[in-house]
Amino acid sequence: MQTNARSNGLGVFDAGSEFLPYSKKIDQAARLCPPKVARTFLFFFVSIILLTPFTARAQFHQTAGRVLVRGYVTGINGRPVDLATVEMRDLRGMKMGAGITNHAGGFAISTFAEHGEYLLLAAKQTEIGDERITIDQPDVEVNIALPAGSTIAAGLGRKDYAVSVQQLSVPEKVRTDLELANRQFTKLNVAGADREVERALQIDDSCAAAYSMRAFLRIAARKFDGAIEDASRAASLDPYDASAYLALATAYNSLTQFQSAEEASRQALRLRPDLWQGQLELAKALQGQGRLVLAWRELDELGKDFPDVHLVRANVLVGLRRKAEAAEEFRRFLQEAPDDPRNQQVQRIIAGLAEPGDSDRASQFTGKKVRVK
Protein backbone atom coordinates (compact mmCIF):
# COMPACT_ATOMS: atom_id res chain seq x y z
CA MET A 1 0.00 0.00 0.00
CA GLN A 2 1.17 3.46 -0.86
CA THR A 3 0.09 6.52 1.08
CA ASN A 4 1.07 9.35 -1.24
CA ALA A 5 -0.11 7.42 -4.30
CA ARG A 6 -2.93 5.04 -3.47
CA SER A 7 -3.61 1.93 -5.51
CA ASN A 8 -7.04 3.11 -6.67
CA GLY A 9 -5.60 6.25 -8.25
CA LEU A 10 -7.10 8.79 -5.88
CA GLY A 11 -3.91 9.93 -4.21
CA VAL A 12 -1.13 12.28 -5.25
CA PHE A 13 1.37 10.79 -7.66
CA ASP A 14 5.03 11.74 -7.81
CA ALA A 15 5.96 11.67 -11.47
CA GLY A 16 9.33 12.44 -12.99
CA SER A 17 10.67 12.72 -16.53
CA GLU A 18 14.03 13.02 -18.22
CA PHE A 19 12.56 15.45 -20.76
CA LEU A 20 11.40 19.01 -20.26
CA PRO A 21 7.69 19.58 -20.87
CA TYR A 22 6.59 21.88 -23.68
CA SER A 23 6.08 25.45 -22.44
CA LYS A 24 4.08 27.92 -24.46
CA LYS A 25 5.64 30.81 -22.52
CA ILE A 26 9.16 29.67 -23.44
CA ASP A 27 8.13 29.25 -27.07
CA GLN A 28 6.71 32.76 -27.16
CA ALA A 29 9.83 34.17 -25.50
CA ALA A 30 12.01 32.50 -28.10
CA ARG A 31 10.09 34.25 -30.87
CA LEU A 32 10.22 37.69 -29.24
CA CYS A 33 13.86 37.61 -28.08
CA PRO A 34 17.06 37.27 -30.05
CA PRO A 35 18.48 33.71 -30.05
CA LYS A 36 21.14 34.44 -27.42
CA VAL A 37 18.63 36.16 -25.10
CA ALA A 38 16.17 33.31 -25.63
CA ARG A 39 18.82 30.74 -24.67
CA THR A 40 19.63 32.76 -21.53
CA PHE A 41 15.94 32.99 -20.62
CA LEU A 42 15.47 29.27 -21.22
CA PHE A 43 18.52 28.43 -19.06
CA PHE A 44 17.25 30.66 -16.26
CA PHE A 45 13.71 29.21 -16.47
CA VAL A 46 14.90 25.59 -16.48
CA SER A 47 17.29 26.31 -13.60
CA ILE A 48 14.38 27.51 -11.47
CA ILE A 49 12.39 24.35 -12.31
CA LEU A 50 15.29 22.04 -11.51
CA LEU A 51 16.28 23.82 -8.31
CA THR A 52 12.76 23.99 -6.86
CA PRO A 53 12.61 20.35 -5.65
CA PHE A 54 16.01 20.70 -3.95
CA THR A 55 14.93 23.92 -2.26
CA ALA A 56 11.75 22.29 -1.00
CA ARG A 57 13.74 19.31 0.24
CA ALA A 58 16.16 21.60 2.07
CA GLN A 59 13.24 23.32 3.80
CA PHE A 60 11.86 19.90 4.79
CA HIS A 61 15.19 18.96 6.36
CA GLN A 62 15.06 22.10 8.45
CA THR A 63 11.73 21.10 10.00
CA ALA A 64 12.20 17.33 10.19
CA GLY A 65 15.13 15.07 10.92
CA ARG A 66 15.90 11.44 10.30
CA VAL A 67 14.52 9.25 13.06
CA LEU A 68 15.20 5.62 13.86
CA VAL A 69 12.22 3.78 15.33
CA ARG A 70 13.11 0.30 16.49
CA GLY A 71 11.88 -2.39 18.84
CA TYR A 72 10.29 -5.82 19.01
CA VAL A 73 6.94 -7.42 18.19
CA THR A 74 5.74 -10.15 20.53
CA GLY A 75 2.78 -12.52 20.54
CA ILE A 76 1.37 -15.11 22.92
CA ASN A 77 3.42 -15.47 26.14
CA GLY A 78 5.81 -12.77 24.93
CA ARG A 79 7.25 -14.91 22.15
CA PRO A 80 8.82 -13.02 19.23
CA VAL A 81 6.78 -12.69 16.04
CA ASP A 82 8.79 -12.96 12.85
CA LEU A 83 7.76 -11.69 9.40
CA ALA A 84 5.28 -9.23 10.89
CA THR A 85 4.71 -5.99 8.98
CA VAL A 86 5.44 -2.85 11.00
CA GLU A 87 4.25 0.56 9.82
CA MET A 88 4.72 4.05 11.15
CA ARG A 89 1.90 6.45 10.31
CA ASP A 90 1.12 10.01 11.26
CA LEU A 91 -2.20 10.87 12.89
CA ARG A 92 -3.73 11.59 9.49
CA GLY A 93 -3.07 8.01 8.42
CA MET A 94 -0.16 8.80 6.07
CA LYS A 95 2.50 6.12 6.05
CA MET A 96 5.91 7.41 7.16
CA GLY A 97 7.84 4.16 6.84
CA ALA A 98 7.58 0.38 7.11
CA GLY A 99 9.61 -2.69 7.91
CA ILE A 100 9.47 -6.45 8.51
CA THR A 101 10.41 -8.18 11.76
CA ASN A 102 13.32 -10.65 11.79
CA HIS A 103 13.42 -14.09 13.42
CA ALA A 104 13.84 -12.44 16.85
CA GLY A 105 10.83 -10.15 16.30
CA GLY A 106 13.04 -7.10 15.89
CA PHE A 107 12.39 -4.26 13.49
CA ALA A 108 13.91 -0.89 12.56
CA ILE A 109 12.32 1.93 10.57
CA SER A 110 14.38 4.90 9.44
CA THR A 111 12.37 7.89 8.29
CA PHE A 112 12.16 11.67 8.30
CA ALA A 113 9.68 12.91 10.88
CA GLU A 114 8.94 16.07 12.80
CA HIS A 115 8.61 16.00 16.56
CA GLY A 116 5.13 14.90 17.55
CA GLU A 117 2.85 11.91 17.93
CA TYR A 118 2.59 8.97 15.55
CA LEU A 119 1.06 5.51 15.45
CA LEU A 120 3.11 2.34 15.12
CA LEU A 121 1.22 -0.66 13.73
CA ALA A 122 2.35 -4.29 13.70
CA ALA A 123 0.37 -6.90 11.75
CA LYS A 124 0.72 -10.64 11.17
CA GLN A 125 -1.98 -12.17 9.01
CA THR A 126 -5.27 -11.08 10.62
CA GLU A 127 -3.81 -9.97 13.97
CA ILE A 128 -2.74 -6.37 14.51
CA GLY A 129 -1.37 -4.38 17.43
CA ASP A 130 -0.74 -0.65 17.70
CA GLU A 131 1.18 1.73 19.93
CA ARG A 132 1.03 5.52 20.00
CA ILE A 133 4.53 6.95 20.14
CA THR A 134 6.07 10.37 20.60
CA ILE A 135 8.99 11.43 18.43
CA ASP A 136 11.15 13.82 20.45
CA GLN A 137 14.61 12.34 19.80
CA PRO A 138 16.42 10.72 16.86
CA ASP A 139 16.29 7.19 18.32
CA VAL A 140 13.02 5.75 19.67
CA GLU A 141 12.51 2.22 20.99
CA VAL A 142 9.06 0.68 21.35
CA ASN A 143 7.67 -2.83 21.80
CA ILE A 144 4.34 -3.95 20.34
CA ALA A 145 2.28 -6.92 21.52
CA LEU A 146 -0.12 -8.63 19.15
CA PRO A 147 -3.44 -9.87 20.53
CA ALA A 148 -3.59 -13.52 21.53
CA GLY A 149 -6.02 -14.38 18.74
CA SER A 150 -8.82 -16.92 18.73
CA THR A 151 -8.57 -20.41 20.19
CA ILE A 152 -11.15 -21.53 17.63
CA ALA A 153 -8.94 -20.51 14.74
CA ALA A 154 -5.68 -21.63 16.37
CA GLY A 155 -3.77 -23.97 14.14
CA LEU A 156 -5.75 -23.13 11.04
CA GLY A 157 -3.68 -22.55 7.92
CA ARG A 158 -4.70 -19.99 5.34
CA LYS A 159 -6.17 -22.73 3.11
CA ASP A 160 -7.82 -24.87 5.79
CA TYR A 161 -11.02 -22.86 5.99
CA ALA A 162 -12.77 -24.20 2.88
CA VAL A 163 -15.54 -26.44 4.28
CA SER A 164 -16.39 -27.49 7.85
CA VAL A 165 -17.70 -30.92 8.84
CA GLN A 166 -21.08 -29.38 9.64
CA GLN A 167 -21.32 -27.89 6.15
CA LEU A 168 -20.48 -31.24 4.56
CA SER A 169 -23.37 -32.88 6.40
CA VAL A 170 -26.06 -30.52 5.02
CA PRO A 171 -28.76 -32.57 3.22
CA GLU A 172 -29.02 -32.02 -0.52
CA LYS A 173 -32.60 -30.70 -0.32
CA VAL A 174 -31.55 -28.15 2.31
CA ARG A 175 -28.63 -27.10 0.16
CA THR A 176 -31.00 -26.58 -2.79
CA ASP A 177 -33.38 -24.48 -0.68
CA LEU A 178 -30.51 -22.29 0.51
CA GLU A 179 -29.26 -21.79 -3.03
CA LEU A 180 -32.76 -20.68 -4.04
CA ALA A 181 -32.86 -18.36 -1.03
CA ASN A 182 -29.56 -16.81 -2.06
CA ARG A 183 -30.86 -16.20 -5.59
CA GLN A 184 -33.94 -14.49 -4.23
CA PHE A 185 -31.80 -12.41 -1.91
CA THR A 186 -29.57 -11.21 -4.75
CA LYS A 187 -32.76 -10.07 -6.51
CA LEU A 188 -33.68 -8.13 -3.33
CA ASN A 189 -36.67 -10.41 -2.82
CA VAL A 190 -36.28 -10.72 0.95
CA ALA A 191 -39.70 -12.31 1.48
CA GLY A 192 -39.02 -14.98 -1.14
CA ALA A 193 -35.61 -15.72 0.32
CA ASP A 194 -37.11 -16.00 3.80
CA ARG A 195 -39.62 -18.61 2.60
CA GLU A 196 -36.84 -20.76 1.17
CA VAL A 197 -34.83 -20.54 4.40
CA GLU A 198 -37.87 -21.60 6.42
CA ARG A 199 -38.30 -24.64 4.16
CA ALA A 200 -34.66 -25.54 4.78
CA LEU A 201 -35.07 -25.25 8.55
CA GLN A 202 -38.18 -27.46 8.48
CA ILE A 203 -36.01 -30.22 7.02
CA ASP A 204 -32.96 -29.60 9.23
CA ASP A 205 -33.37 -27.29 12.21
CA SER A 206 -29.68 -27.65 13.11
CA CYS A 207 -28.34 -26.26 9.85
CA ALA A 208 -25.91 -23.46 10.68
CA ALA A 209 -25.89 -22.14 7.11
CA ALA A 210 -29.67 -21.62 7.23
CA TYR A 211 -29.43 -19.56 10.40
CA SER A 212 -26.58 -17.53 8.89
CA MET A 213 -28.69 -16.83 5.82
CA ARG A 214 -31.68 -15.84 7.94
CA ALA A 215 -29.44 -13.52 9.95
CA PHE A 216 -28.56 -11.60 6.78
CA LEU A 217 -32.24 -11.46 5.82
CA ARG A 218 -33.04 -9.96 9.20
CA ILE A 219 -30.26 -7.42 8.76
CA ALA A 220 -31.83 -6.43 5.43
CA ALA A 221 -35.13 -5.99 7.28
CA ARG A 222 -33.30 -3.97 9.98
CA LYS A 223 -34.19 -6.55 12.64
CA PHE A 224 -30.72 -6.47 14.15
CA ASP A 225 -31.48 -8.18 17.45
CA GLY A 226 -33.02 -11.10 15.60
CA ALA A 227 -30.01 -11.19 13.30
CA ILE A 228 -27.66 -11.45 16.28
CA GLU A 229 -29.76 -14.27 17.70
CA ASP A 230 -29.65 -16.24 14.44
CA ALA A 231 -25.97 -15.58 13.79
CA SER A 232 -25.02 -16.58 17.33
CA ARG A 233 -26.95 -19.83 16.95
CA ALA A 234 -25.21 -20.51 13.64
CA ALA A 235 -21.80 -19.92 15.24
CA SER A 236 -22.64 -22.30 18.10
CA LEU A 237 -23.74 -25.00 15.65
CA ASP A 238 -20.70 -24.50 13.41
CA PRO A 239 -17.76 -22.57 14.95
CA TYR A 240 -16.07 -22.61 11.54
CA ASP A 241 -18.89 -20.76 9.74
CA ALA A 242 -17.29 -17.45 8.78
CA SER A 243 -20.63 -16.16 7.47
CA ALA A 244 -22.11 -16.37 10.96
CA TYR A 245 -19.40 -14.08 12.34
CA LEU A 246 -19.78 -11.73 9.38
CA ALA A 247 -23.51 -11.44 10.10
CA LEU A 248 -22.72 -10.79 13.76
CA ALA A 249 -20.24 -8.04 12.83
CA THR A 250 -22.71 -6.39 10.48
CA ALA A 251 -25.52 -6.44 13.02
CA TYR A 252 -23.32 -5.18 15.85
CA ASN A 253 -22.04 -2.31 13.68
CA SER A 254 -25.63 -1.38 12.84
CA LEU A 255 -26.40 -1.23 16.57
CA THR A 256 -23.20 0.83 17.18
CA GLN A 257 -21.81 -1.97 19.36
CA PHE A 258 -18.42 -1.47 17.76
CA GLN A 259 -16.22 -3.50 20.13
CA SER A 260 -18.40 -6.58 19.61
CA ALA A 261 -18.40 -5.88 15.87
CA GLU A 262 -14.60 -5.76 15.85
CA GLU A 263 -14.32 -9.10 17.66
CA ALA A 264 -16.82 -10.76 15.32
CA SER A 265 -15.21 -9.41 12.15
CA ARG A 266 -11.75 -10.47 13.28
CA GLN A 267 -13.07 -13.97 13.93
CA ALA A 268 -14.61 -14.06 10.45
CA LEU A 269 -11.25 -13.05 8.96
CA ARG A 270 -9.36 -15.65 10.97
CA LEU A 271 -11.57 -18.29 9.41
CA ARG A 272 -11.69 -16.68 5.96
CA PRO A 273 -8.80 -14.26 5.35
CA ASP A 274 -10.15 -13.61 1.83
CA LEU A 275 -13.52 -12.38 3.11
CA TRP A 276 -13.39 -8.74 2.02
CA GLN A 277 -16.79 -7.99 3.57
CA GLY A 278 -15.28 -8.97 6.93
CA GLN A 279 -12.47 -6.49 6.40
CA LEU A 280 -14.99 -3.77 5.56
CA GLU A 281 -16.96 -4.48 8.74
CA LEU A 282 -13.70 -4.40 10.70
CA ALA A 283 -12.89 -0.97 9.26
CA LYS A 284 -16.38 0.27 10.20
CA ALA A 285 -15.97 -1.08 13.74
CA LEU A 286 -12.60 0.61 14.14
CA GLN A 287 -14.00 3.86 12.77
CA GLY A 288 -16.88 3.67 15.22
CA GLN A 289 -14.37 3.41 18.06
CA GLY A 290 -12.51 6.48 16.80
CA ARG A 291 -9.46 4.42 15.76
CA LEU A 292 -9.35 6.12 12.38
CA VAL A 293 -5.73 5.37 11.43
CA LEU A 294 -6.31 1.65 11.97
CA ALA A 295 -9.56 1.85 10.01
CA TRP A 296 -7.76 3.59 7.15
CA ARG A 297 -5.08 0.90 7.08
CA GLU A 298 -7.75 -1.80 6.74
CA LEU A 299 -9.40 0.08 3.89
CA ASP A 300 -6.09 0.56 2.11
CA GLU A 301 -5.33 -3.16 2.48
CA LEU A 302 -8.82 -3.97 1.22
CA GLY A 303 -8.38 -2.26 -2.15
CA LYS A 304 -11.94 -3.11 -3.24
CA ASP A 305 -13.88 -1.04 -5.79
CA PHE A 306 -17.41 -1.17 -4.39
CA PRO A 307 -19.87 1.66 -3.63
CA ASP A 308 -20.09 1.18 0.13
CA VAL A 309 -16.32 0.74 0.36
CA HIS A 310 -15.95 4.22 -1.13
CA LEU A 311 -18.50 5.51 1.35
CA VAL A 312 -16.62 4.11 4.35
CA ARG A 313 -13.32 5.39 2.95
CA ALA A 314 -14.85 8.86 2.56
CA ASN A 315 -16.20 8.89 6.11
CA VAL A 316 -12.82 7.85 7.54
CA LEU A 317 -10.99 10.46 5.45
CA VAL A 318 -13.30 13.18 6.76
CA GLY A 319 -12.37 12.11 10.28
CA LEU A 320 -8.68 12.25 9.34
CA ARG A 321 -9.26 15.78 7.95
CA ARG A 322 -8.22 14.81 4.43
CA LYS A 323 -11.07 16.72 2.82
CA ALA A 324 -10.05 16.62 -0.84
CA GLU A 325 -9.58 12.86 -0.82
CA ALA A 326 -12.84 12.41 1.10
CA ALA A 327 -14.75 14.42 -1.50
CA GLU A 328 -13.26 12.30 -4.28
CA GLU A 329 -14.37 9.09 -2.55
CA PHE A 330 -17.87 10.50 -2.10
CA ARG A 331 -17.96 11.35 -5.83
CA ARG A 332 -16.91 7.81 -6.67
CA PHE A 333 -19.79 6.54 -4.60
CA LEU A 334 -22.21 8.78 -6.53
CA GLN A 335 -20.83 7.55 -9.84
CA GLU A 336 -21.13 3.88 -8.93
CA ALA A 337 -24.50 4.12 -7.15
CA PRO A 338 -26.41 6.89 -8.97
CA ASP A 339 -29.81 5.70 -7.70
CA ASP A 340 -28.86 5.21 -4.04
CA PRO A 341 -31.29 6.96 -1.65
CA ARG A 342 -28.36 8.37 0.33
CA ASN A 343 -27.10 10.45 -2.61
CA GLN A 344 -28.67 13.76 -1.55
CA GLN A 345 -26.98 13.52 1.82
CA VAL A 346 -23.68 12.68 0.12
CA GLN A 347 -24.01 15.68 -2.19
CA ARG A 348 -24.59 17.98 0.80
CA ILE A 349 -21.46 16.62 2.46
CA ILE A 350 -19.40 17.21 -0.69
CA ALA A 351 -20.65 20.81 -0.81
CA GLY A 352 -19.66 21.27 2.85
CA LEU A 353 -16.20 19.85 2.23
CA ALA A 354 -15.67 22.25 -0.68
CA GLU A 355 -16.25 25.36 1.45
CA PRO A 356 -12.90 26.95 2.43
CA GLY A 357 -12.03 27.03 6.09
CA ASP A 358 -14.94 24.77 6.95
CA SER A 359 -13.07 21.68 8.14
CA ASP A 360 -14.64 21.81 11.59
CA ARG A 361 -18.18 21.83 10.23
CA ALA A 362 -17.32 19.11 7.73
CA SER A 363 -15.91 16.93 10.48
CA GLN A 364 -19.37 16.62 12.01
CA PHE A 365 -19.97 13.80 9.56
CA THR A 366 -17.56 11.56 11.49
CA GLY A 367 -20.15 11.55 14.24
CA LYS A 368 -23.18 11.59 11.96
CA LYS A 369 -21.93 9.63 9.01
CA VAL A 370 -23.65 8.50 5.87
CA ARG A 371 -25.02 5.16 6.98
CA VAL A 372 -23.48 2.21 5.22
CA LYS A 373 -25.92 -0.56 4.43
88-100: pLDDT as tens digits: 999 999 999 999 9
pTM for the model: 0.74
Q: Is the pLDDT assigned to residue 42 strictly greater than 70?
A: no
- State which CATH number among 1.10.8.60, 1.25.40.10, 2.60.120.560, 3.40.30.10 fits the domain covering 151-297: 1.25.40.10
Q: What is the mean pLDDT of residues 292-317?
A: 94
CB atoms within 10 A of CB 22: 7
Gap between the Cα atoms of 133 and 109, Å rounded: 13
Residues linked to residue 163 through DSSP beta bridges, in sequence order: none
Most confident of 27-36, 50-59, 316-325: 316-325
Q: Is the pLDDT assigned to residue 131 strictly greater than 90?
A: yes
> Which pLDDT belongs to residue 270?
92
Residue 166 pLDDT grade (very low, low, confident, very high; cuts 50, 70, 90):
low
Higher pLDDT, 274 or 366: 274
Domain boundaries in the chain?
A: 24-63, 65-145, 151-297, 305-373
Q: What is the 3-state secondary structure (H, E, C) of the chain?
A: CCCCCCCCCCCCCCCCCCCCCCCHHHHHHHHHCCHHHHHHHHHHHHHHHHHHHHHHHHHHHHHCEEEEEEEEEECHHHCECCCCEEEEEECCCCEEEEEECCCCCEEEEEEEECCEEEEEEEEECCEEEEEEEEECCCEEEEEEECCCCCCCCCCCCCCCCCCCHHHHCCCHHHHHHHHHHHHHHHCCCHHHHHHHHHHHHHHCCCCHHHHHHHHHHHHHCCCHHHHHHHHHHHHHHCCCCHHHHHHHHHHHHHCCCHHHHHHHHHHHHHHCCCCHHHHHHHHHHHHHCCCHHHHHHHHHHHCCCCHHHHHHHHHHHHHCCCHHHHHHHHHHHHHHCCCCCCHHHHHHHHHHHHCCCCHHHHHHHHCCCCCCC
> Edge to edge, what strands does the sheet with 106-113 contain?
106-113, 65-74, 139-145
Q: Which residues does 302 contact at the CB level (< 8 Å), separation at least 6?
A: 276, 279, 280, 283, 309
- State which CATH number among 2.60.120.380, 1.20.1600.10, 2.60.40.10, 1.10.10.10 fits the domain covering 65-145: 2.60.40.10
CB 242 within 8 A of CB 273: no
Q: Is the pLDDT assigned to residue 334 strictly greater than 80?
A: yes
> Which pLDDT belongs to residue 143?
94
Residue 63 pLDDT grade (very low, low, confident, very high; cuts 50, 70, 90):
low
CB 21 within 8 A of CB 28: no
Burial of 165 (0-12, 13-18, 19+ CB in 10 A): exposed
Q: Is the pLDDT assigned to residue 243 strictly greater than 80?
A: yes
Mean confidence (pLDDT) of the chain: 79
Gap between the Cα atoms of 298 and 289, Å rounded: 14
Residue 213 pLDDT grade (very low, low, confident, very high; cuts 50, 70, 90):
very high
